[in-house]
Amino acid sequence: MLAYDADLELFRDNFKRFMSENIAPHYEQWEEDGLIPRQLWNQLGENGFLCVDVPEEYGGYGAPIHYSLMLVQETAQAGFTSLAVAIGGQNELVSPYIQNLGSEEQKQYWLPKMVTGEVVTAIAMTEANAGSDLQAIRTQAILNQDHYLVDGSKTFISNGIHADLIVLVAKTNPEARAKGISLLLVDAALEGVEKGRSLKKIGLHAQDTAELFFDQVKVPKNQRLGEEGQGFAYLMQELPRERLSISMMALGSILGAIELTSDYVQQRKAFGQPLSHMQNTRFVLANTQIKAKAAQAFVDQCAEQYSRDALSVSHVAALKCFITDTQCDVIDQLLQLFGGYGYMQEYPISRFFVDARVQKIYGGTNEIMKEIVAREMLGK
Protein backbone atom coordinates (compact mmCIF):
# COMPACT_ATOMS: atom_id res chain seq x y z
CA MET A 1 0.00 0.00 0.00
CA LEU A 2 1.09 3.59 -0.60
CA ALA A 3 2.12 5.52 2.53
CA TYR A 4 -0.73 7.10 4.53
CA ASP A 5 -1.47 10.64 3.35
CA ALA A 6 -3.78 12.67 5.61
CA ASP A 7 -4.53 15.24 2.87
CA LEU A 8 -5.45 12.49 0.42
CA GLU A 9 -7.82 10.89 2.95
CA LEU A 10 -9.48 14.25 3.61
CA PHE A 11 -9.86 14.77 -0.15
CA ARG A 12 -11.27 11.24 -0.46
CA ASP A 13 -13.84 11.89 2.32
CA ASN A 14 -14.91 15.14 0.64
CA PHE A 15 -15.39 13.37 -2.67
CA LYS A 16 -17.38 10.52 -1.11
CA ARG A 17 -19.63 13.08 0.58
CA PHE A 18 -20.06 14.88 -2.75
CA MET A 19 -21.08 11.59 -4.41
CA SER A 20 -23.58 10.67 -1.71
CA GLU A 21 -25.25 14.10 -1.94
CA ASN A 22 -25.04 14.88 -5.67
CA ILE A 23 -24.75 11.55 -7.50
CA ALA A 24 -26.28 8.68 -5.52
CA PRO A 25 -29.85 10.13 -5.46
CA HIS A 26 -29.89 10.64 -9.25
CA TYR A 27 -27.62 8.00 -10.75
CA GLU A 28 -30.33 5.44 -11.51
CA GLN A 29 -32.30 8.07 -13.42
CA TRP A 30 -29.20 9.03 -15.41
CA GLU A 31 -28.68 5.37 -16.34
CA GLU A 32 -32.28 5.28 -17.61
CA ASP A 33 -31.82 8.57 -19.48
CA GLY A 34 -28.61 7.26 -21.05
CA LEU A 35 -26.77 10.45 -20.15
CA ILE A 36 -25.08 12.20 -17.22
CA PRO A 37 -26.38 15.80 -17.13
CA ARG A 38 -24.00 18.46 -18.44
CA GLN A 39 -24.33 20.55 -15.24
CA LEU A 40 -22.65 17.79 -13.21
CA TRP A 41 -19.37 18.71 -14.91
CA ASN A 42 -19.71 22.25 -13.57
CA GLN A 43 -20.46 20.90 -10.07
CA LEU A 44 -17.41 18.62 -10.22
CA GLY A 45 -15.29 21.58 -11.28
CA GLU A 46 -16.69 23.93 -8.63
CA ASN A 47 -15.87 21.36 -5.95
CA GLY A 48 -12.33 20.79 -7.22
CA PHE A 49 -12.66 17.24 -8.57
CA LEU A 50 -11.48 17.78 -12.16
CA CYS A 51 -7.88 17.63 -13.41
CA VAL A 52 -6.45 18.00 -9.89
CA ASP A 53 -2.88 17.29 -11.05
CA VAL A 54 -2.89 20.32 -13.40
CA PRO A 55 -0.27 22.84 -12.17
CA GLU A 56 -1.52 25.82 -10.17
CA GLU A 57 -0.59 28.32 -12.91
CA TYR A 58 -3.27 26.70 -15.10
CA GLY A 59 -5.94 26.65 -12.39
CA GLY A 60 -5.34 23.20 -10.88
CA TYR A 61 -4.01 22.07 -7.50
CA GLY A 62 -0.75 20.62 -8.79
CA ALA A 63 -1.69 17.51 -6.76
CA PRO A 64 0.21 14.21 -7.07
CA ILE A 65 -1.12 11.76 -9.68
CA HIS A 66 -2.58 9.38 -7.08
CA TYR A 67 -5.04 12.09 -5.99
CA SER A 68 -6.44 12.09 -9.51
CA LEU A 69 -6.48 8.30 -9.78
CA MET A 70 -8.28 8.05 -6.42
CA LEU A 71 -11.29 9.89 -7.91
CA VAL A 72 -11.65 7.25 -10.63
CA GLN A 73 -11.31 4.38 -8.16
CA GLU A 74 -13.81 5.78 -5.64
CA THR A 75 -16.38 6.55 -8.36
CA ALA A 76 -16.16 2.98 -9.64
CA GLN A 77 -16.21 1.55 -6.11
CA ALA A 78 -19.48 3.38 -5.41
CA GLY A 79 -20.96 1.67 -8.47
CA PHE A 80 -21.00 4.80 -10.66
CA THR A 81 -18.87 3.32 -13.44
CA SER A 82 -20.36 5.48 -16.21
CA LEU A 83 -19.20 8.54 -14.31
CA ALA A 84 -15.80 6.95 -13.61
CA VAL A 85 -15.27 6.56 -17.38
CA ALA A 86 -16.37 10.17 -17.96
CA ILE A 87 -14.08 11.62 -15.27
CA GLY A 88 -11.25 9.34 -16.40
CA GLY A 89 -11.62 10.65 -19.95
CA GLN A 90 -11.12 14.24 -18.81
CA ASN A 91 -8.63 13.79 -15.95
CA GLU A 92 -6.56 10.79 -17.05
CA LEU A 93 -6.64 10.92 -20.86
CA VAL A 94 -7.04 14.41 -22.29
CA SER A 95 -5.51 16.46 -19.46
CA PRO A 96 -2.10 14.67 -19.58
CA TYR A 97 -1.95 15.07 -23.39
CA ILE A 98 -2.39 18.84 -23.11
CA GLN A 99 -0.11 19.14 -20.07
CA ASN A 100 2.70 17.14 -21.69
CA LEU A 101 2.39 18.12 -25.35
CA GLY A 102 0.53 21.44 -25.45
CA SER A 103 2.06 24.80 -26.33
CA GLU A 104 1.98 27.48 -23.63
CA GLU A 105 -0.90 29.14 -25.48
CA GLN A 106 -2.89 25.87 -25.64
CA LYS A 107 -2.32 25.13 -21.96
CA GLN A 108 -3.31 28.65 -20.89
CA TYR A 109 -6.50 28.49 -22.96
CA TRP A 110 -7.80 24.96 -22.37
CA LEU A 111 -6.57 23.68 -19.00
CA PRO A 112 -8.28 26.25 -16.71
CA LYS A 113 -11.60 25.61 -18.51
CA MET A 114 -11.17 21.84 -18.04
CA VAL A 115 -10.49 22.32 -14.31
CA THR A 116 -13.72 24.31 -13.81
CA GLY A 117 -15.86 21.99 -15.95
CA GLU A 118 -16.59 24.77 -18.43
CA VAL A 119 -15.02 22.52 -21.07
CA VAL A 120 -15.70 18.77 -21.33
CA THR A 121 -13.19 16.80 -23.36
CA ALA A 122 -12.99 13.63 -25.42
CA ILE A 123 -10.22 11.84 -27.27
CA ALA A 124 -11.17 10.54 -30.70
CA MET A 125 -9.02 7.63 -31.85
CA THR A 126 -11.29 4.75 -32.86
CA GLU A 127 -12.93 4.46 -36.29
CA ALA A 128 -15.33 1.91 -37.73
CA ASN A 129 -12.42 0.10 -39.40
CA ALA A 130 -9.62 0.99 -37.00
CA GLY A 131 -9.75 0.04 -33.33
CA SER A 132 -6.65 -1.69 -32.03
CA ASP A 133 -4.94 -1.06 -35.40
CA LEU A 134 -4.64 2.71 -35.02
CA GLN A 135 -2.29 3.02 -37.98
CA ALA A 136 -5.24 2.15 -40.24
CA ILE A 137 -7.25 5.31 -39.44
CA ARG A 138 -8.72 7.18 -42.42
CA THR A 139 -9.63 10.55 -40.90
CA GLN A 140 -7.46 13.12 -42.69
CA ALA A 141 -6.18 16.55 -41.71
CA ILE A 142 -4.53 18.19 -44.71
CA LEU A 143 -2.53 21.37 -44.15
CA ASN A 144 -3.79 24.32 -46.20
CA GLN A 145 -1.80 27.47 -45.39
CA ASP A 146 -2.84 28.50 -41.83
CA HIS A 147 -5.27 25.65 -41.10
CA TYR A 148 -5.85 21.91 -41.42
CA LEU A 149 -8.84 20.72 -43.42
CA VAL A 150 -10.30 17.74 -41.53
CA ASP A 151 -12.52 15.03 -43.03
CA GLY A 152 -13.54 11.71 -41.51
CA SER A 153 -15.50 10.06 -38.74
CA LYS A 154 -14.90 8.45 -35.35
CA THR A 155 -16.94 6.00 -33.28
CA PHE A 156 -17.24 4.71 -29.68
CA ILE A 157 -16.10 8.12 -28.38
CA SER A 158 -16.53 8.49 -24.60
CA ASN A 159 -17.86 11.94 -23.57
CA GLY A 160 -18.72 12.41 -27.26
CA ILE A 161 -22.12 14.05 -26.71
CA HIS A 162 -20.98 16.60 -24.12
CA ALA A 163 -17.51 17.21 -25.60
CA ASP A 164 -16.53 20.85 -26.13
CA LEU A 165 -12.96 19.92 -27.05
CA ILE A 166 -11.88 16.86 -29.01
CA VAL A 167 -8.31 15.57 -29.16
CA LEU A 168 -8.45 14.18 -32.69
CA VAL A 169 -6.14 11.49 -34.03
CA ALA A 170 -5.83 12.08 -37.80
CA LYS A 171 -3.60 11.41 -40.79
CA THR A 172 -1.70 14.54 -41.82
CA ASN A 173 0.15 12.38 -44.35
CA PRO A 174 -2.31 9.81 -45.75
CA GLU A 175 0.48 7.94 -47.59
CA ALA A 176 2.39 7.08 -44.40
CA ARG A 177 1.20 4.72 -41.66
CA ALA A 178 2.33 5.47 -38.10
CA LYS A 179 4.58 8.34 -39.24
CA GLY A 180 1.61 10.08 -40.90
CA ILE A 181 -0.45 10.47 -37.72
CA SER A 182 -0.82 13.78 -35.85
CA LEU A 183 -2.96 15.08 -32.99
CA LEU A 184 -5.24 18.12 -33.29
CA LEU A 185 -7.23 20.06 -30.70
CA VAL A 186 -10.64 20.45 -32.32
CA ASP A 187 -13.17 22.87 -30.87
CA ALA A 188 -16.51 21.03 -31.14
CA ALA A 189 -18.22 24.34 -32.01
CA LEU A 190 -16.33 24.59 -35.32
CA GLU A 191 -18.40 24.44 -38.50
CA GLY A 192 -18.48 20.90 -39.93
CA VAL A 193 -18.18 19.07 -36.58
CA GLU A 194 -21.26 16.94 -36.06
CA LYS A 195 -22.12 14.69 -33.14
CA GLY A 196 -23.99 11.55 -34.10
CA ARG A 197 -26.33 9.46 -32.03
CA SER A 198 -25.56 8.37 -28.49
CA LEU A 199 -24.71 4.69 -28.88
CA LYS A 200 -26.69 2.10 -26.91
CA LYS A 201 -24.38 -0.25 -24.99
CA ILE A 202 -24.91 -3.37 -22.88
CA GLY A 203 -23.42 -1.52 -19.89
CA LEU A 204 -22.25 1.98 -18.92
CA HIS A 205 -25.70 3.25 -19.82
CA ALA A 206 -25.23 6.78 -18.46
CA GLN A 207 -21.88 7.22 -20.24
CA ASP A 208 -22.34 9.29 -23.40
CA THR A 209 -20.63 7.33 -26.14
CA ALA A 210 -21.04 8.83 -29.59
CA GLU A 211 -20.10 8.88 -33.23
CA LEU A 212 -18.36 12.06 -34.40
CA PHE A 213 -18.27 13.38 -37.96
CA PHE A 214 -15.88 15.91 -39.47
CA ASP A 215 -16.83 17.50 -42.80
CA GLN A 216 -14.32 20.01 -44.20
CA VAL A 217 -13.57 21.29 -40.68
CA LYS A 218 -11.02 24.12 -40.62
CA VAL A 219 -8.75 23.63 -37.61
CA PRO A 220 -6.21 26.44 -37.06
CA LYS A 221 -2.62 25.29 -37.51
CA ASN A 222 -1.79 26.51 -33.98
CA GLN A 223 -4.21 23.88 -32.59
CA ARG A 224 -2.00 20.97 -33.61
CA LEU A 225 -0.84 19.18 -30.46
CA GLY A 226 2.89 18.60 -30.55
CA GLU A 227 4.84 17.95 -33.75
CA GLU A 228 3.33 16.87 -37.05
CA GLY A 229 3.77 13.15 -37.76
CA GLN A 230 4.52 12.34 -34.11
CA GLY A 231 0.94 11.46 -33.12
CA PHE A 232 1.44 7.72 -32.96
CA ALA A 233 4.54 8.11 -30.76
CA TYR A 234 2.59 10.47 -28.47
CA LEU A 235 -0.24 7.95 -28.16
CA MET A 236 2.23 5.23 -27.14
CA GLN A 237 3.79 7.65 -24.64
CA GLU A 238 0.46 8.56 -23.00
CA LEU A 239 -1.33 5.17 -23.10
CA PRO A 240 0.22 3.96 -19.80
CA ARG A 241 -1.75 6.66 -17.92
CA GLU A 242 -5.00 5.56 -19.60
CA ARG A 243 -4.31 1.90 -18.78
CA LEU A 244 -3.47 2.81 -15.19
CA SER A 245 -6.79 4.67 -14.96
CA ILE A 246 -8.71 1.67 -16.35
CA SER A 247 -6.92 -0.50 -13.79
CA MET A 248 -7.93 1.84 -10.94
CA MET A 249 -11.52 1.56 -12.17
CA ALA A 250 -11.21 -2.22 -12.16
CA LEU A 251 -9.85 -2.21 -8.61
CA GLY A 252 -12.65 0.09 -7.45
CA SER A 253 -15.28 -2.16 -9.04
CA ILE A 254 -13.78 -5.29 -7.46
CA LEU A 255 -13.76 -3.71 -3.99
CA GLY A 256 -17.25 -2.24 -4.42
CA ALA A 257 -18.73 -5.55 -5.57
CA ILE A 258 -17.10 -7.45 -2.66
CA GLU A 259 -18.49 -4.91 -0.17
CA LEU A 260 -21.98 -5.17 -1.67
CA THR A 261 -21.95 -8.98 -1.65
CA SER A 262 -20.55 -9.24 1.89
CA ASP A 263 -23.48 -7.17 3.16
CA TYR A 264 -26.01 -9.16 1.15
CA VAL A 265 -24.91 -12.66 2.25
CA GLN A 266 -25.03 -11.67 5.91
CA GLN A 267 -28.66 -10.56 5.56
CA ARG A 268 -30.03 -13.11 3.09
CA LYS A 269 -31.16 -16.45 4.55
CA ALA A 270 -31.50 -19.83 2.89
CA PHE A 271 -32.34 -23.15 4.54
CA GLY A 272 -32.80 -21.38 7.87
CA GLN A 273 -29.39 -19.72 8.08
CA PRO A 274 -27.60 -16.68 6.62
CA LEU A 275 -25.80 -17.37 3.34
CA SER A 276 -22.62 -16.18 5.07
CA HIS A 277 -22.63 -19.35 7.21
CA MET A 278 -22.36 -21.64 4.18
CA GLN A 279 -18.92 -22.86 3.24
CA ASN A 280 -19.30 -22.17 -0.49
CA THR A 281 -20.25 -18.54 0.20
CA ARG A 282 -17.34 -18.11 2.58
CA PHE A 283 -14.85 -19.64 0.14
CA VAL A 284 -16.10 -17.59 -2.82
CA LEU A 285 -15.83 -14.35 -0.85
CA ALA A 286 -12.44 -15.32 0.58
CA ASN A 287 -11.20 -16.13 -2.92
CA THR A 288 -12.38 -12.78 -4.31
CA GLN A 289 -10.75 -10.95 -1.38
CA ILE A 290 -7.44 -12.75 -2.05
CA LYS A 291 -7.61 -11.67 -5.71
CA ALA A 292 -8.47 -8.10 -4.64
CA LYS A 293 -5.37 -7.96 -2.45
CA ALA A 294 -3.16 -9.13 -5.32
CA ALA A 295 -4.80 -6.58 -7.64
CA GLN A 296 -4.32 -3.79 -5.08
CA ALA A 297 -0.61 -4.60 -4.72
CA PHE A 298 -0.07 -4.63 -8.50
CA VAL A 299 -1.94 -1.31 -8.97
CA ASP A 300 -0.04 0.36 -6.13
CA GLN A 301 3.27 -0.77 -7.61
CA CYS A 302 2.39 0.61 -11.06
CA ALA A 303 1.03 3.91 -9.66
CA GLU A 304 4.25 4.39 -7.69
CA GLN A 305 6.34 3.65 -10.80
CA TYR A 306 4.25 6.06 -12.88
CA SER A 307 4.84 8.85 -10.36
CA ARG A 308 8.61 8.34 -10.94
CA ASP A 309 8.23 8.14 -14.77
CA ALA A 310 9.40 4.53 -14.45
CA LEU A 311 6.26 2.64 -15.59
CA SER A 312 7.01 0.64 -18.74
CA VAL A 313 4.46 -0.02 -21.49
CA SER A 314 4.73 -3.78 -21.00
CA HIS A 315 4.35 -3.62 -17.21
CA VAL A 316 1.16 -1.56 -17.35
CA ALA A 317 -0.12 -3.78 -20.19
CA ALA A 318 0.32 -6.77 -17.87
CA LEU A 319 -1.55 -4.89 -15.13
CA LYS A 320 -4.43 -3.87 -17.41
CA CYS A 321 -4.83 -7.44 -18.71
CA PHE A 322 -4.58 -9.09 -15.29
CA ILE A 323 -6.83 -6.74 -13.36
CA THR A 324 -9.65 -6.44 -15.92
CA ASP A 325 -9.72 -10.24 -16.37
CA THR A 326 -9.82 -10.49 -12.57
CA GLN A 327 -12.60 -7.88 -12.38
CA CYS A 328 -14.86 -9.80 -14.78
CA ASP A 329 -14.09 -13.13 -13.09
CA VAL A 330 -14.64 -11.85 -9.53
CA ILE A 331 -17.89 -10.00 -10.29
CA ASP A 332 -19.29 -13.04 -12.12
CA GLN A 333 -18.62 -15.21 -9.05
CA LEU A 334 -20.12 -12.61 -6.70
CA LEU A 335 -23.28 -12.17 -8.78
CA GLN A 336 -23.88 -15.93 -8.48
CA LEU A 337 -24.26 -15.54 -4.71
CA PHE A 338 -27.29 -13.28 -5.28
CA GLY A 339 -29.11 -16.03 -7.18
CA GLY A 340 -31.98 -14.71 -9.32
CA TYR A 341 -31.79 -11.30 -7.66
CA GLY A 342 -28.33 -10.79 -9.16
CA TYR A 343 -29.90 -10.81 -12.61
CA MET A 344 -32.36 -8.03 -11.71
CA GLN A 345 -31.43 -4.48 -12.68
CA GLU A 346 -32.64 -3.08 -9.35
CA TYR A 347 -29.76 -4.89 -7.62
CA PRO A 348 -26.54 -2.87 -8.09
CA ILE A 349 -24.45 -6.06 -8.53
CA SER A 350 -26.08 -6.44 -11.96
CA ARG A 351 -24.70 -3.04 -12.98
CA PHE A 352 -21.20 -3.97 -11.77
CA PHE A 353 -21.51 -7.06 -13.99
CA VAL A 354 -22.57 -5.39 -17.25
CA ASP A 355 -20.25 -2.40 -16.76
CA ALA A 356 -17.23 -4.67 -16.30
CA ARG A 357 -17.21 -6.35 -19.69
CA VAL A 358 -15.90 -3.43 -21.75
CA GLN A 359 -12.86 -3.08 -19.49
CA LYS A 360 -11.20 -5.97 -21.37
CA ILE A 361 -11.80 -4.14 -24.69
CA TYR A 362 -11.12 -0.40 -24.50
CA GLY A 363 -7.72 1.13 -23.79
CA GLY A 364 -6.29 -1.66 -25.95
CA THR A 365 -7.87 -5.11 -25.93
CA ASN A 366 -6.45 -7.68 -23.53
CA GLU A 367 -5.25 -9.68 -26.54
CA ILE A 368 -3.13 -6.67 -27.54
CA MET A 369 -1.88 -6.42 -23.93
CA LYS A 370 -0.72 -10.05 -24.10
CA GLU A 371 1.06 -9.36 -27.40
CA ILE A 372 2.89 -6.38 -25.81
CA VAL A 373 4.04 -8.60 -22.92
CA ALA A 374 5.02 -11.40 -25.33
CA ARG A 375 7.09 -9.01 -27.46
CA GLU A 376 9.10 -7.96 -24.43
CA MET A 377 9.74 -11.63 -23.64
CA LEU A 378 10.24 -13.07 -27.12
CA GLY A 379 10.71 -10.18 -29.55
CA LYS A 380 8.43 -9.49 -32.52
Mean pLDDT of 349-355: 97
Task: Evaluate if residue 297 carries a pLDDT over 70.
Answer: yes
Task: Evaluate if residue 338 carries a pLDDT over 80.
Answer: yes
Confidence of residue 3 (pLDDT cuts 50, 70, 90): low
Q: Which long-range contacts (CB under 8 A, 24 or more apart) does 314-317 make?
A: 314/372, 314/373, 314/375, 314/376, 316/239, 316/240, 316/243, 316/244, 316/247, 317/243, 317/364, 317/368, 317/369, 317/370, 317/372, 317/373
Domain boundaries, the chain: 6-119, 122-228, 232-378
Task: Evaluate if residue 380 carries a pLDDT over 90.
Answer: no
Residue 2's pLDDT is what? 57
Mean pLDDT of 102-110: 97
Mean pLDDT of 221-225: 96
Q: Which residues of 167-198 are buried (b: 16+ CB within 10 A; e: fewer)?
A: bbbbbbbeeeeeebbbbbbbbbeeeebebeeb
Residue 129's pLDDT is what? 85
* Superfamily per CATH, domain 232-378: Butyryl-CoA Dehydrogenase, subunit A, domain 3 (1.20.140.10)
Residue 135's pLDDT is what? 83
Catalytic residues, by residue number, are: 242
The CATH number of 6-119, from 3.40.80.10, 1.10.540.10, 1.10.357.10, 3.40.1180.10, is 1.10.540.10
Which of 108-117, 204-213, 268-277 shows the lowest mean pLDDT across its residues? 268-277
Mean pLDDT of 316-336: 98
What would be the CATH architecture of the domain defined by 122-228?
A: Beta Barrel (2.40)
pTM for this one?
0.95
